[in-house]
Amino acid sequence: MKSVSSKVSTCLTRRRFLRDTTLLAVAAAVRAHAAQELAQPLVQTVLGTIPASKLGVTLPHEHVMCDFIGAEHTDRHRWEVATVVKRMLPFLAQLKERGVTGFIDCTPAFIGRDPRVLKRLAQETGLHIVTNTGYYGGANDKFVPRHAYDETADQVADHWVREWENGIEDTGVKPGFIKIGIDEIENDFPRLSPIDEKIVRASARASKRTGLAVTCHTGGGLAGLAAAKVFIGEKADPSRFVVAHSDGHGLPVNQTVAELGAWVSFDAISRKPLELHLRLVRAMAERHANSLLLSHDNGWYEVGQENGGPVRDFNYISDVFLPAFRKVGASEATIRKLTVENPAKAFAIRPTSALLRDRWVQPIQQLQQIVPTPRSQPERF
Ligand SMILES: [Zn+2]
């Protein structure tokens, strides 16, 4: 028969055991939760990171402002932050009224990117606004800073990674993606210009180092595919690459881009006839709804013009396109995918996994068939 003291001691031991295991269980749960938190994809907005799931209905390709004077002359002294904010605020507020909560600003450095303006607009409206790093090689390279010509692709990527690590200029605002641009290329020699190819290569390397997505302005479908080829050739994750202005590229190119695992961005909605976009979006959504992004490429407070000149609003998709899309039979699930789920996936920060290695082979082979490899040239970058 056990003594009273031994009973008490057994009881205490059991209680301690229970307490300790409970503590262990709680600790394990906390750790699991923390791991989950870490695994939860994030989007970098101008006000900080948010879970990608909180981005909501999003326009993935718009512009608050632009300065077209060129890389050598653009500078902050050319505009007043308060004036731009005052002019653009009503347009962004109208978006909020329509239930749009995410706004990806695609104006790159040297064309009027100003995180101070975007930050103020985000604070005033509550919109999740995302800005970018990168260089724009479209428009015959008018907006490419001189130093990029003398540097290697890695050195160019270093500038962008530094902005990702330290913030843009003195603002502390971090870029949420990489925005680049390329010019159109000729059919008989389908190769990007050396500077454009260097910019795409740098974007792939910066994307691998940061986990940021890349939106690539394209002069045409051939250039878009050539850029994808360079990007994938760098063993970057195809799902980190958004082919902008795809609504001018034709369905076969769009389908190929989707099959490669990259994003097809129809971002001229409101700037072409409604019927054209309805046809394009329906055709793509049939088999490639998971790869499609929709936006206007609107806005454009233009520096140097009286009060920014004529600004194009961001309401057409909400007011005209989606109601028409519903009328021709689009389901709410498809609309949610195109307006909420896809932008969140495209712009979530995601490190390139080594597991993707197997995925590179097929896209590259596929691309070899579509874009003929031009006369062999020495690797210059
Ligand atoms: Zn644009």
Name the residues around ion ligand 1, CB cutoff 5 A. Answer: 106, 297
CA dist 132 and 45 (Å) reads 10
pLDDT tens profile 307-349: 999 999 999 999 999 999 999 999 999 999 999 999 999 999 9
Residue 153 Cα to ligand 1 middle (Å): 23
Residue 181 Cα to ligand 1 middle (Å): 9
pLDDT tens profile 107-125: 999 999 999 999 999 999 9
Residue 62 Cα to ligand 1 middle (Å): 6
Q: Which of 149, 208, 155 is nearest to 178 (CA)?
A: 208
- Which of 101-105, 216-220, 375-379 is the least confident region? 375-379
Residue 216 Cα to ligand 1 middle (Å): 9
Residue 332 Cα to ligand 1 middle (Å): 27
Predicted TM-score (pTM) of this structure: 0.85
Residue that has been written with the tokens 């101070």 in this structure: 116
Residue 265 Cα to ligand 1 middle (Å): 11
Quick check: 132 pLDDT over 90?
A: yes
Tell me the Ramachandran region of residue 169: left when phi exceeds 0, alpha when psi lies from -120 to 50, beta otherwise: left
Question: What's the pLDDT score for residue 374?
Answer: 41
Question: What's the pLDDT score for residue 62?
Answer: 98
Quick check: 377 pLDDT over 90?
A: no
DSSP 189: S
Residue 309 Cα to ligand 1 middle (Å): 17
Question: What's the pLDDT score for residue 2?
Answer: 44
Residue 247 Cα to ligand 1 middle (Å): 13
Residue 59 Cα to ligand 1 middle (Å): 12
pLDDT tens profile 181-234: 999 988 777 789 999 999 999 999 999 999 999 999 998 888 999 999 999 999
Quick check: 23 pLDDT over 70?
A: no
Cβ atoms within 10 A of the Cβ of 259, count?
A: 15
Quick check: 376 pLDDT over 50?
A: no
Residue 272 Cα to ligand 1 middle (Å): 15
CA dist 256 and 231 (Å) reads 15
Residue 297 Cα to ligand 1 middle (Å): 5
Residue 39 Cα to ligand 1 middle (Å): 31
CA dist 110 and 76 (Å) reads 10
pLDDT tens profile 234-292: 989 999 999 999 999 999 999 999 999 999 999 999 999 999 999 999 999 999 999 99
What average pLDDT does the chain have? 88
Question: What's the pLDDT score for residue 315?
Answer: 98
Quick check: 298 pLDDT over 50?
A: yes
Question: What's the pLDDT score for residue 378?
Answer: 31
* DSSP code per residue over 145-169: -THHHHS-HHHHHHHHHHHHHH-ST
Residue 194 Cα to ligand 1 middle (Å): 22
Which residues neighbour 183 within 8 Å (Cβ) at sequence distance 6 or greater?
137, 138, 139, 140, 141, 192, 193, 196, 219, 223
Question: What's the pLDDT score for residue 9?
Answer: 53
Question: What's the pLDDT score for residue 219?
Answer: 85
E strand residue ranges, the chain: 42-45, 48-51, 58-66, 102-105, 128-130, 132-133, 177-181, 213-217, 241-243, 263-266, 292-294, 299-302
pLDDT tens profile 53-79: 999 999 999 999 999 999 999 999 999
Which residues neighbour 308 within 8 Å (Cβ) at sequence distance 6 or greater?
65, 83, 84, 87, 88, 300, 301, 302
Report CA dihedral (14, 15, 16, 21) to the nearest 10 degrees. Answer: 90
Residue 20 Cα to ligand 1 middle (Å): 58
Quick check: 13 pLDDT over 90?
A: no
Residue 381 Cα to ligand 1 middle (Å): 27
Q: Which of 137, 22, 65 is nearest to 301 (CA)?
A: 65
Residue 28 Cα to ligand 1 middle (Å): 47
Question: What's the pLDDT score for residue 381?
Answer: 29
Residue 227 Cα to ligand 1 middle (Å): 17
Residue 177 Cα to ligand 1 middle (Å): 14
Please report, rounded to a whole number, the percentage of residues in the chain having pLDDT higher than 70.
82
